[in-house]
Structure formats: C-alpha cells, structure tokens
Structure 1
Amino acid sequence: MSPSHKPLVVVGSVNADLVLPIERLPKPGETLAAASIETVPGGKGANQAAAAARAGYPTFFVGQFGKDDPNAALLRGALRGCGVDLAHSADIAGPCGTALILLQAGGENSIIIVGGANQAAWNLSDGVKQLIAGAGAVLLQREIPEPVNVEVAQLAKAANVPVFLDAGGVEGPIAPELLSCLAVLSPNETELNRLTGMPTDTEEQIQSAAEALMAKGVKAVLVKLGGDGSLLLPGHGEAPIRQKAIRAPEVVDTTGAGDCFTATYAVAVLEGKPAPAALQFASAAASICVQRRGAMPSLPARAEVEELLAKQ
C-alpha cells in the first residue's frame, strides 16, 4: 500500500463476543444445551477496522475500551494483530461492550448486546478531530450513541472527507443531520425496510426504498442482500449496479460478514477501484468470511481475497 493513501478512520464499537453454538433457538420456557462457550473479539466498529486493515489498508480505530474489564486486553491485542492503529482509542471506567451470540446450525445468528463502554459518554479529543479531518474516509455504524456519529460525520463533511455508514446496530431512525452527511449508507434489506417503512421484498421495492433515503440527502446507497449479493445506487444520475454474491461452498457463521463487506468496499473505493470491481472485491472478502467461525477471527487477509478473485 502506498504511503500516500490517506487512512481509513473507523469510529465505533468494540465488543467481547460470547459465542454459544446451538442447533436452534429455544422456545419460550425451553432449556437447550450449547456445545461450548467462547469469547472472541467483535463489535461492528472493531470488525470493520480489522477487515480494512486485514485487506491491507492503513486503518485507525477510534473506540472506547472498559479499563475495568479483563477482556479489554484481548480486544486490543486482536485489533493490533490485524494491523489496526489504536493510538486514538480511549480507556474509560467500567466494562467493555459485550455481545451474546447464539450461533445456530447453518450459520445464522441471533445477537443480544450490552453496550458497556460503547454507550458511555464520548469526548472527541483534538487529536481525533485532526485524524478525521485528514482521513481518506470515515466509516461509522450504529452501536455507539447517535450524537457521536453526528459529530464525527459533520467534522468529516466540513473537511470534505467522505462518510460511510453501515446501518447495522440500533433500530431507530437515523438523524436527518447524519443522513445529509453521508457519501454511502449501507443497510441490508431488513434495515432498509425499518429505516424507510417501505417494503423490500423485491428488487424494485429495494430500489424504491433506497431512492427514498437518497431523497433525504444520502449520496449513494449500498444494499447488502446476503446470499443474493448487493445492489448499489451510486447517485449522480447513474444506473444501479447489481452484484451477484460469490457463493461460499459452506456457510459456517455469518457473524461479521456484513461488516467485512462494508469495510472492504470502502477500502476498494479508497484505492480507486470502479464500483463494479469494488463490489466484487467486497463480495469475495465476505464469501471467505462466512466460511469461518467468529466475527474478527474470520476476516480474510488481502492475499486470500485476491486469490479468490483470480478464480472468478
């Protein structure tokens, strides 16, 4: 990677994921046995920072670790091990964020989150503000307080830095002052339905719902469609771009796949790839991700993505 590339700055959440593999979800009043319990690094912000860094791009993570939590060392170590720069992350009193992930047979998951340090008060330092102003792009999600995302996005917009928002996280509406700052908003079809109140059962409906978000000031919308690929509405009067998924031979765990897709798409855009190639790059990364267990541990290295692309 050329040192002339301005870094990707990811502002968001970091969690200790408690993963329980189960055959199916329990019914009300029912007790099921899990095969094991494992603590692995995760959180949408941390996953996206790790995915970008593993893809070979210079990446900073701005997040909050609970200094009273023994998992903080595990989480920091995992991010650094992926090549993420943590110089602008903070240690605050209390526990880290935690996610309980019920991993079902076939790779689907159900997640319960305890916000911890992610949802505590934030104070963006002068160093963080300078980092944002000098970034190639800023990547946000919705597992930290909305006012923090708004402040970061407004700082970035004022410095002409593009802002990507992954719609995953809290379910409420996105603040209008945040929408108007976004270069790219990336929901899945379920999130798109919740954000717009519009049906998203067909591709035509998905496109109409995405256009409704663009009418509120979003420059482009990238809809993640899981095994059906993705749909990009690039704006500027350009036609939508439909990307088919690169199918995985076996789906082991979908945790983190959406984070991987959004982050690697942002990396590809920052590297100057045209939109179809950027979508293909992100699809390859996500295809590798779902074949492994765990959010951050499943993220592919750059060489793996390029090897898979070479086979397409």
Structure 2
Amino acid sequence: MRIAVTGSIATDHLMTFPGRFTEQLLADRLDRVSLSFLADNLEVRRGGVAANIAFGLGTLGLRPVLVGAVGADFDPYRVWLKDHGVDTDAVRVSASLHTARFVCTTDREQNQIATFYAGAMAEARAIELRDVVARVGRLELVLVSPDDPEAMLRHTRTCRDLGIPFAADPSQQLARLGRDEVRELVDGARFLFTNEYETALLQERTGWPEAEVLRRVGAWVTTHGEAGVRVRGEGRAPLSVPAVRVPEVVDPTGVGDAFRAGFLAGTLWGVPEWCAARLGCAVAATVLDSVGTQEYRLRRDHLVERIRTTYGTACTAELLVHLAGLS
C-alpha cells in the first residue's frame, strides 16, 4: 500500500498574540490596514502541508513517498522525516532557493493571520511523477496537496495518464488558481478535501454547484473544525462525524493535515469510511494538544481510547490490528 503525497514542504514560524485580532481592526479603515501585533513567543517548527501529512502517515506505520521541492537547508528535516517513516528520495533540492517558510500568528480566539513564502517550492513543477512510480512501483493513491500550481496540474495529469487514483486538496492555492485549473484538479478525484470556507470558495472558483462537484468526485470530505467532518458522495446520504473533544487547544496549526493523514491511512487499510473518518478526527485531536504540526506522538492506547470515548467501540478492534506498531 504505497501513497505519494505531493505538495509543500516548509519551515513554520509560529507566534501567539494574547489579544484578539478583531479588536484591532477598524471597520471604516479596512482599505488601509497597517498593524503590528506584539507576540508573546516564537516557535520554529517543521511544516508544509505535504510534509505534515506524510509525517502523520509515516507515524501510523505506512511508508508514504513525499514529493516536493526544498532548499539546501533541508538535510536536518530530511533526517527527521526518514526517522518517522517517510520516503524522501523523491524530494528535489534547489541549488539557489530556500525551503518554503510559513509565518503564522494565532490570537487568543484561535484566529490566525499567516504569510507563506514559496521559495524552492516553485521548482516542484520540474518533478516527474513517472520517475517516482518507476522507483517505488504501483501507487495506490496520490494526494495532490497545495504546491506550485503548475506542479499540482502536472501531477494530476500524470495520475490520469497512468490510471493512478488521486485525491485533490487544493486548499490554500484556491485563491491563486483559475476556473479551468481548479476544475482540472478536481475532476475525477477519488477524494476531494476542503474545509468549510474552501467548500464555498471551490464552488465559486469552478462555477459548479454542489451537485456537479459531487458528480465529478468519488467523495467530498469537508472539515468543520469543532463541528467535525462531513463526507458526501453522489447518490448517498452524507456521513457526519463529530470531532473528538479537546478540553484545551494548545495550537490549531496543522489539524487539517493530521485529519487527512488519519483518514487516508484508514482508507488504505480498507476500513469503512466512517471508521477512517473517526481515526482522522482522533489524530487531529492529538495535534491540537501540542505546538507545531509534527511535534505530536501517537500512542496506540491513547488514540483508541479517544475513539472509544467519542464514538463507542464499533471500529476499535479493527483499528487496533492496524495500529499494532504504535507503542
């Protein structure tokens, strides 16, 4: 069961602001915003959507193939990912650009303001997915997550040409992509991932109503934060899975990536979709307990207990078989 995760690989610079962003915004001055927020602390962490998801999959016992572009400063990060079960041999190293940077400030209400510098990610368009397949063999799934837009389109086209199932996760890049580009990324995807806001944005970008999107994908997976996850498909009743309750959220950064890792792991294991979604929610809750997107540790008993407490015992026995490698 091999999965390739294509997308961004970055370093996260995470800060916390003790106030509320909304208190600093003046409704009649939004056309000229010039603000500075004094942060309490700074955490420099490993990140990037593809790297976060690959880390989660590797921690769960799969050996995902990470596909993306980085700078020459990537070596310590490479070692970290390899130590957590990620195949990094398909990562391209730029000769001139730095690894991408994500700078994010979170306020006391868990609102976030962020900036992303692409850097070496721009060279991801030069990566040939066929070479990855030639090296590792047949892939069960390719996740196309936020990346250089041309790279996202190229990987999607290659999946279609080779007959490899793919999942579309356009996420942050929806703001940059045109109508035809978003349609090409989505059409024929086995899974389409969005959060609640991106759901509306995707429909606006494609010009397709919900029914048309559902007709063109296998399943549309939408995360709703504290309200959990909804999975929809054409001709079937929606599946709603509540979130795992976290008493005190430490840091929300990367929670969506963690959900995707858990959900995709369950899917590749062949567990029912509702069970895979529950696992995704439990992994996401674990990320909320720590600062950073890859600083968490998955413990089998703790993960299963979270699932059992929130959802009951319906799929815990089946998951335990696949989670046997966790401590």
**TM-score category of the 2 structures, normalised to the smaller one:** 0.7 to 0.9
Q: Given that residues 191 and 218 in structure 2 are in contact (C-alpha distance below 8 angstroms), is that contact kept between their aligned partners in structure 1?
A: yes
Counterpart residue identity of residue 78, structure 1? W
Counterpart residue identity of residue 79, structure 2? G
Distance across 2 between alignment mates of 1:23 and 1:132? 47
- 185-194 vs 108-117, greater mean Cα deviation: 108-117
Count of matched residue pairs: 292
Could you say which residue in structure 2 is the equivalent of 1:95?
98
Q: Given that residues 41 and 74 in structure 1 are in contact (C-alpha distance below 8 angstroms), is that contact kept between their aligned partners in structure 2?
A: no
C-alpha distance 187-219 of structure 1, shift in aligned 2 (>3 A): same
Question: Structure 1: any 5+ residue segments left out of the alignment?
Answer: 1-5, 199-207
Distance across 1 between alignment mates of 2:56 and 2:113? 21
C-alpha distance 82-105 of structure 1, shift in aligned 2 (>3 A): farther
- 75-84 vs 186-195, greater mean Cα deviation: 75-84
Could you say which residue in structure 2 is the equivalent of 1:50?
55
Could you say which residue in structure 2 is the equivalent of 1:204?
none
Could you say which residue in structure 1 is the equivalent of 2:113?
110
Deviation at 1:105, TM superposition (A): 2.2
The alignment status of 1:141 with 2:145, answered yes or no, reads: yes
Distance across 2 between alignment mates of 1:105 and 1:35? 11
Distance across 1 between alignment mates of 2:224 and 2:117? 27
- Residue 305 of structure 1: SS of its match in structure 2? helix
How much is the aligned-residue C-alpha RMSD, in angstroms? Answer: 2.3
Could you say which residue in structure 2 is the equivalent of 1:40?
45
Distance across 1 between alignment mates of 2:84 and 2:112? 24
Distance across 2 between alignment mates of 1:127 and 1:296? 28
Question: Structure 2: any 5+ residue segments left out of the alignment?
Answer: 26-32, 311-327
Distance across 2 between alignment mates of 1:159 and 1:308? 39
**Residue number among 187, 197, 209 corresponding to 2:194 in the alignment:** 187
> Which protein is richer in helix relative to its size?
2
Deviation at 1:209, TM superposition (A): 5.2
Could you say which residue in structure 2 is the equivalent of 1:310?
308
Distance across 2 between alignment mates of 1:49 and 1:301? 18
C-alpha distance 256-293 of structure 1, shift in aligned 2 (>3 A): same
Larger relative contact order, structure 1 or 2 (CA cutoff 8 Å, min sep 6): 1
Distance across 2 between alignment mates of 1:299 and 1:103? 22
Could you say which residue in structure 1 is the equivalent of 2:239?
241
C-alpha distance 275-152 of structure 1, shift in aligned 2 (>3 A): same
TM-score between both structures, scaled by the size of structure 2: 0.82
**Residue number among 281, 285, 288 corresponding to 1:287 in the alignment:** 285
Q: Given that residues 253 and 290 in structure 1 are in contact (C-alpha distance below 8 angstroms), is that contact kept between their aligned partners in structure 2?
A: yes
Q: Given that residues 106 and 251 in structure 1 are in contact (C-alpha distance below 8 angstroms), is that contact kept between their aligned partners in structure 2?
A: no
Could you say which residue in structure 2 is the equivalent of 1:203?
none
C-alpha distance 102-44 of structure 1, shift in aligned 2 (>3 A): same
C-alpha distance 240-99 of structure 1, shift in aligned 2 (>3 A): same
CA deviations on 1:98-120 (whole Å, 9 max, x unpaired) are: 01010222444222100011123
| Aligned-pair identity (%) | 23
Deviation at 1:55, TM superposition (A): 1.6
1:171-210 equivalences under 5 Å are 171=175, 172=177, 173=179, 174-197=181-204, 210=210
Q: Given that residues 244 and 307 in structure 2 are in contact (C-alpha distance below 8 angstroms), is that contact kept between their aligned partners in structure 1?
A: no
Could you say which residue in structure 1 is the equivalent of 2:218?
219
C-alpha distance 304-123 of structure 1, shift in aligned 2 (>3 A): farther
Q: Given that residues 264 and 281 in structure 1 are in contact (C-alpha distance below 8 angstroms), is that contact kept between their aligned partners in structure 2?
A: yes
1:122-133 equivalences under 5 Å are 122-125=125-128, 126-130=130-134
C-alpha distance 276-34 of structure 1, shift in aligned 2 (>3 A): same
The alignment status of 1:231 with 2:226, answered yes or no, reads: no
C-alpha distance 253-117 of structure 1, shift in aligned 2 (>3 A): same
